[in-house]
Amino acid sequence: MLLVFVYGTLLRGEPNHELLSRSRFLCEARTDPCYTLVDMGAFPAMIPQGSTSVVGEVFEVTVEVLEALDELEGHPDWYTRTTITLGNGMSVDTYLRDPAKFDGRPVIPSGNWRDKRGHRE
């Protein structure tokens, strides 16, 4: 069983969710408060530094879906697929951006991509 935590355009109802449409949705979840969610324009990036709990969803995926997600996310050059432990104790893979590539983009203080329009810093 491969578990993936998504927090941006792969969420249900978002533009890239089609890649997960045949995967099993398990739950909504939050990370521990040790990340920063950055607004990259049309999509977010989660940085492995900070004090924010990022909001997302967990899906059970096949190897083929994971490979498609890796391609979409530009793993390992743009994002790096990394195993993290969520606030609920689940161990999942997610996609993190190197803090050195943060580029001074606006932070989403709520940690929720869907809140980005009204809550930019």
Would you please indicate which residues are annotated as catalytic (active-site) residues?
Answer: 73
CB 8 within 8 A of CB 14: yes
The H-or-E segment that residue 84 falls in is strand 80-85
Neighbours of 66 (CB within 10 A): 16
Query: What's the Cα-to-Cα distance from 72 to each of 64, 88, 89, 101, 115, rounded to whole Å?
Result: 13, 27, 27, 18, 23
Contact 5, 87 (CB under 8 A): no
- Show the tokens assigned to 14: 């978002």
